[in-house]
Structure 1
Amino acid sequence: MCVGVTALIRWDRDPVLWVIRGALYTVVAVAFIAVQRRRARNAAGTDSRGLAELGRGIRHREVPDDPEKRAAMRRLVDDQLERLERGARWLPYWLGFMGLIAAAVLALGVATGSVLFPLVFALGTAGFCCWILWMRRRTMERLHYMRSALREEHEHVS
C-alpha cells in the first residue's frame, strides 16, 4: 500500500519499477507471516485449521471443552505471551526510533519548506505507534484472561 501511495506522489518514475517493488514487498511480508504461522502451529501442536479455531477461541474468550484442544490452546497462549513479553524489552527502542525518524522527516520538511507530506508522515507514524501499543495491551489482556481461564478449567478437571 505504501508503494502505491509513493507511486502516486512520485509519478515521474517508471510504473514497472513500482509494480516490481510492490511485488517484492508483498513476497517478503507473506514469507514473514508464513514463518510466524508455522511457529504458532508448531507451538500449539496443531494444523492450520486448528490454529485458526484456537485463535478465534482466544479472541472470543472461549475455553474449548475437548482436553486436547484445551492443551493446545494452553501451549499457544503460553507461547504468544512469552513472545510478547520477550518483545517488550525492545518495544520502547523501536517506538523511539520510529518517533526519531518522524521528527527528522518533519524537521527536513520544515527546513525545505515542504511541510504537508512530513506532517502527514509524522501524524501517521504517531497513529501507528499508538495503534501498536493499543493492540499489544488488548492482546495481553486476552492472553492473560485465557491463561487464567485455562488454569481454572484445568483445576476443575483435576
Structure 2
Amino acid sequence: MSQDNSGWRRWLGKWWVLSLFYFVVYGGFQLLRPGRTWADAAIGAAIYAAWMTGWQVRRRRRDSRAVGAKADELPQLERRMRRGEVPEDPAERQAMRKLAQRRLAKLQGGAKWALPLLGFLWLAVSVISLAVGQFGSGLAFLGAGVVLAGLIVWGRRRNIERLTRAERRLSAADGDRSRTA
C-alpha cells in the first residue's frame, strides 16, 4: 500500500496520538466543571483515554482483518477514500472497497433503536428538570439534545452518502480496468 508520510498526517493513525488526544480533550472538559481538581481531571482523562484508545485499536484490528490490510494502513485508506482517490493497485483498491462496504453495512444495519432511546432519555431528563422547577437547565438540556440528535442524523447521512460514492467509484474502476486487461 502506498504511504503518505508528509507532515502531521502520518501521526494521526498512531495509537498513542489518539490516546493523547482523548486525554487532552476529556481532561480539558473535566477542568471546566466547577469543583474539579487537576488530579480528578487527570485520573478521569487517563481512564477515558485508555478506554477510547483500546476501543479504537480493537476496531482497527477487526477492520484490518476483514479487509485484508494492515491495521497501520487503515487510517491512510480512510483518508484516501474521503478525498475520493481511486488507487491504481488492485489489492489496495479491493481493500478500500471492502472497507467502504464494511462501514456502510455498520451504518445501515445495526442499532436502529439507539437514536430513539437516546432521544427518549434526553427528553426524560429535560422533562424531569422542568418538573422540579429548573427551567434554565431543563430547556438548555432539551435544546442541546435537539442539536445533538440533528448532528447525529446529519453525520450519519453524510457518511452513508460518502461511503456509497466511494464504493461506486471503486467498483467502477475495477470494472473499467478489468475490461481493458
| TM superposition score normalised by structure 2 | 0.73
Give the one of 94, 103, 115 matched to 2:135: 115
Residues 67 and 96, structure 2, Cα contact 8 Å, conserved in 1: yes
Compute the displacement of 1:130 (Å).
1.3
Q: Give the partner amino acid of 2:100.
A: V
Match of 2:102 in 1: 79
Supply the distance in 1 between the matched residues of 2:166 and 2:117 (Cα, whole angstroms): 33
Task: For 2:85, give the aligned amino acid.
Answer: E
Gaps of 5+ in 1: none
Amino acid aligned to 2:174? H
2:114 to 87, 94, 97: 94
SS in 2 for 1:81: helix
Identity among equivalent positions (%) equals 30
Map 1:4-43; keep pairs closer than 5 Å: 8-9=32-33, 11=35, 16-43=39-66
Give, in whole Å, the separation in 1 of the partners of 2:39 and 2:73.
Answer: 40
TM-score when normalising by structure 1 = 0.82
Please state how far the C-alpha of 1:141 moved relative to its aligned partner: 0.9
The alignment partner of 1:110 has SS state of helix
* C-alpha deviation, 1:47, in angstroms: 2.2
Distance 1:114 1:123 in 2: 14
Residue 21 of structure 1 deviates from its aligned partner by 3.0
What is the alpha-carbon root mean square deviation over aligned residues? Answer: 2.3
Give per-residue Cα distances to partners, 1:84-133, cap 9 Å, x unaligned: 2222xx23x21121121222211221222222223222222222221111
Query: Secondary structure of 1:139's match?
Result: helix
Gaps of 5+ in 2: 1-24
